[in-house]
């Protein structure tokens, strides 16, 4: 059934060198990425991280390798649900979390994960990227604050206009009333002059 293939020593050596070159290429590419990146096994243990990850978290590589990914995030239950979803999904998933750095600084981040699967579809772990979104969050909060201020200012202007409208309508009604009184007095005066 299976044909046994015998590799010559030089073919084997060439394949080994090609594989080592490919591995080095992938490692260099991962280190080059500006996004914090880590490779995680199916048991949620960190297998590798890049320089951007170390810069963002302030952890040295040896401090995180072999640890479960959970220790990096504030929301433990949400992290568990995220990991379960990664294992089920075949497409990339994304969610927001609070990252805890080595010095206990809390940073809002966006996590993106993509499951690694064997040819048979078995879950082998996942790749995870971490994007610092603190500046985006600050901008969003500032924008929301400005919107609230502007809404309050507009509400005050609307109230001023409503009060002005009530004043104008009241004034118009009073003028109509005075005109009617004036007309009634003129008619009464005219009647008095005719009778008198």
Same domain, 107 and 180: no
Contact 69, 40 (CB under 8 A): yes
Same domain, 105 and 146: no
Contact 108, 98 (CB under 8 A): yes
Per the structure block, which two tokens stand in for 129? 């990227």
Same domain, 77 and 33: yes
Same domain, 125 and 180: no
Three-class SS of residue 145? helix
Instruction: Tell me which of 91, 114, 132 is where a domain ends.
Output: 132
State how many domains the chain has: 2
Instruction: Tell me which of 132, 153, 182 is where a domain ends.
Output: 132
The verdict on residue 2 lying in a domain is no
Instruction: Tell me which of 82, 106, 132 is where a domain ends.
Output: 132
Same domain, 119 and 173: no
Same domain, 51 and 85: yes
- Domain range for 48 is 12-132
We report the CATH number of the domain holding residue 76 as 3.30.450.20
Instruction: State pLDDT tens for residues 18-50.
Output: 777 767 766 666 666 678 999 999 999 999 999
Instruction: State pLDDT tens for residues 99-143.
Output: 999 999 999 999 999 999 999 999 999 999 999 999 988 988 898
Instruction: State pLDDT tens for residues 45-87.
Output: 999 999 999 999 999 999 999 999 999 999 989 999 999 999 9
Bridge partners of residue 100, in order along the sequence = 106
């Amino acid at each position: 059934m299976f044909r046994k293939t015998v590799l010559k020593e030089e073919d084997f050596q060439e394949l080994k060198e090609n594989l080592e070159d490919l591995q080095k290429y992938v490692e260099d590419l991962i280190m080059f990425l500006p996004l914090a990146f880590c490779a995680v096994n199916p048991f949620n243990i960190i297998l590798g991280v890049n320089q951007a990850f170390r810069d963002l978290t302030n952890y040295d590589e040896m401090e995180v390798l072999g640890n479960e990914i959970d220790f990096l995030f504030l929301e433990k239950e949400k992290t568990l649900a995220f990991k379960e979803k990664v294992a089920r999904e075949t497409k990339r998933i994304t969610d927001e979390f609070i990252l805890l750095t080595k010095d206990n600084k809390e940073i809002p981040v966006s996590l993106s994960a993509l499951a690694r699967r064997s040819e048979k579809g078995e879950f082998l772990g996942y790749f995870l990227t971490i994007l610092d979104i603190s500046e985006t969050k600050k901008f969003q909060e500032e924008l929301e604050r400005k919107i609230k201020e502007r809404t309050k200012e507009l509400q005050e202007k609307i109230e001023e206009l409503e009060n002005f409208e009530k004043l104008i309508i009241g004034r118009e009604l009073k003028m109509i009333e005075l005109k009617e009184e004036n007309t009634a007095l003129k008619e009464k005066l005219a009647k008095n002059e005719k009778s008198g």
